[in-house]
Structure formats: C-alpha cells, structure tokens
C-alpha cells in the first residue's frame, strides 16, 4: 500500500489527478473533528520523498531533475504538520509562530514552491532578469493565478538599489508587492 | 542556500523557490513567513546584522532529498514564540 504522502504526489506528478489519501474512520472523525494530526517527522518525509524519487527513476517517465523540480513546486495535501501559524510580528509585518513547544532538531514546516524560478541565464542583476529565466508553477496554483510577470517582478524588486547610510529607514530586502494582478496589494 | 529575500529562498545558484504570501492557512507550508531575528538598520552594518541574526535565530532551512525545503528548529522553541531564521 502506498504511504499517505506518496499517493497524492504520484497523482500530481503524473497529472492523473489520482488522490490516494489515508482516510480517518468515520467513528474517529466524529470523536475528534477539530484535532489535526501533527506527528510528521523530517525523517519520515525524507523516506517518503525518496520513495517517490525512486519510483520515477525506475519508471523512467521523467528525468530525475524534472521530478525534483516538480516536487519542489508541489504542496502535498494533508501533511501531518500542525505546529505553527502566521501572526503579526513585532519584528515586522507577519511572522511564523510556534503553536506548541517544538524541540531542537524538530521539523516545523516546509517552504512552499508556489513558483520555482530557474535562473538559466544567470542571476538577476540591477539591469533586470535575464531572458533565459524560467518559472514553474506548482500544480496547485490555478491557471488564473499563474502570473509570470508578478513572480519575476518580485525577483527584480529584490535588487532595488540599497539606500544611502543616512536613510532613516532603509530596508535590506524588498517585498512582494503582488502575486497576481487580480489580487489586492498586500505587504507582510 | 546563497541568498534569501522575503518570500524567496535560493535552493541552488540556478533555482529558487517563491512562496505566495496569500497562502497562509496550511501549517505544512508556512516557511516563507519566517522572519530574520533582526532588522538590517543599514547596509553598511551588514556584518553586525548577520552576526546578531545568527545568534538570535532558532531555526534554519534544510533540503529534504533535494525536492522539498524544510524549516527545522535549531533550538527548543516555546509555544507562542516566533520562529526566526538567520540571514543568509
């Protein structure tokens, strides 16, 4: 039987839409409907991702680098991770906060690849983004939200000239101004 | 990792991940919201900023099988504490 994570990933990568998720028995769901599972470890995730990579290596359906890129651009549904949330930060804007005690070495969350940028023509410069730059969107990103310009605009903004030392409130990093034209501007 | 901006992290010299800041509800994929521990007051104080950022951080990014990017605690984090990533 496929591991809980493996089924959905195979569906995503093959484009079949196959969703093989572990289902909680009805009786258990009724007893604890609000309790999201939270026992995923980084070791378990590594083993399951290794199985996916091995599967595609054996099948020869996709080159390994394409498998890796697709997995980087995938959000896996219903991971058993529920130990952090986003909230207002005293440092600036929003931040990430633990919702329970987390031990040293413990997995907290994953960095999503809603867009994967391939700097095939070299990294961005003050002149802009090289023409050879590519963008891969995750399968979970709807077509109407796949805004290449917005994704690369962000990358270009990241190279905004540094302010002079006398500037009253310089920022080292720029912000995402928007993700798609359809969405409202939101800063962090 | 060689560079990081607010919603982008570089995995290799030729590939980086961008997280959508509008997607903030799945606790399995919130790594793009982690802040640096300190704010860079001036680009001319970058060395000091980086040292403070490292000292005050409690998490870091690690690759998982080269196909996922995880946020891992580098010290114990109490419930309610902010997860802080060092400057790249």
Interface confidence, given as ipTM, is 0.91
A150 close to B (CB below 8 A): no
Q: Which domain holds residue B66?
A: 4-85
- For the stretch A32-55, pLDDT in tens is 455 789 999 999 999 999 998 888
User: Are A101 and B77 within 8 A, CB to CB?
Assistant: yes
A105 close to B (CB below 8 A): yes
- For the stretch B36-86, pLDDT in tens is 887 776 777 778 888 888 889 999 999 999 999 999 999 999 999 999 998
What is the number of CB-based contacts under 8 A between chain A and chain B? 231
A114 close to B (CB below 8 A): yes
How far are the Cα atoms of A14, A176, B67, B78 from residue B73, in angstroms, in the given order?
A: 33, 26, 19, 11
Q: Quick one: CA dihedral A185, B12, A113, A102, positive or negative?
A: negative
**pLDDT more than 70, % of chain A:** 62
Q: Which residue of B has its CA nearest to A120?
A: B14
- Please report where in the chains the tokens 């994704």 appear, as a residue: A151
pLDDT at position B23 is 92
User: Are B15 and A110 within 8 A, CB to CB?
Assistant: no
Selected residue with higher pLDDT from A10 and B8? B8
Instruction: Kindly give, in sequence order, each residue whose CB lies less than 8 Å from that of residue B76, ignoring residues fewer than 6 positions away.
Output: A101, A102, A103, A104, B58
- For the stretch A113-172, pLDDT in tens is 999 998 888 877 777 777 778 888 888 888 888 888 777 665 555 444 333 333 333 223
Scanning chain B, the segments in alpha helix (DSSP H) are: 46-56
From the list A75, A119, A154, the residue facing B15 with the nearest CB is A119
Asked if residue B17 lies in contact with residue A116, where contact means CB atoms within 8 angstroms, the answer is yes
Q: How far apart are CA A44 and CA A36, in angstroms?
A: 18
The structural domain count of chain B equals 1
pLDDT confidence bin for A174, thresholds 50/70/90: very low
CA dihedral A188, B61, B69, A1 (to 10 degrees): -120
């Amino acid at each position: 039987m496929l591991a809980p994570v493996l089924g959905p990933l195979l569906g995503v990568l093959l484009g079949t839409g196959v969703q093989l998720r572990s289902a909680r028995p009805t009786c258990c769901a009724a007893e604890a409907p609000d309790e999201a599972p939270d026992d995923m470890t980084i070791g378990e995730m590594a083993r399951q991702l290794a199985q996916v990579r091995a599967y595609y290596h054996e099948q020869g359906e996709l080159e390994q680098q394409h498998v890796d890129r697709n997995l980087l651009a995938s959000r896996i549904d219903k991971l058993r991770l529920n130990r952090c949330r986003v909230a207002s930060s005293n440092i600036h804007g929003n931040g990430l906060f633990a919702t329970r005690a987390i031990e040293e070495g413990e997995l907290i969350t994953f960095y999503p690849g809603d867009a994967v940028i391939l700097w095939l023509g070299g990294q961005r410069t003050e002149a802009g983004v090289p023409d050879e730059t590519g963008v891969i969107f995750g399968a979970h990103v709807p077509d109407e939200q796949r805004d290449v310009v917005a994704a690369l605009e962000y990358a270009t903004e990241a190279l905004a000239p540094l302010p002079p030392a006398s500037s009253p409130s310089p920022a080292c990093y720029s912000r995402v101004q928007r993700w798609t034209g359809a969405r409202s501007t939101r800063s962090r | 990792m060689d560079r990081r901006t607010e919603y982008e992290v570089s995995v290799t010299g030729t590939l980086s991940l961008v997280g959508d800041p509008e997607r903030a509800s799945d606790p399995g994929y919130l790594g793009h919201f982690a802040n640096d521990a300190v704010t860079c007051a001036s680009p001319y104080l970058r060395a000091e900023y980086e040292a403070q950022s490292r000292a005050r951080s409690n998490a870091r990014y690690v690759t998982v099988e080269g196909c996922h990017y995880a946020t891992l605690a580098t010290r114990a984090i109490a419930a309610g504490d902010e997860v802080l990533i060092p400057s790249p």
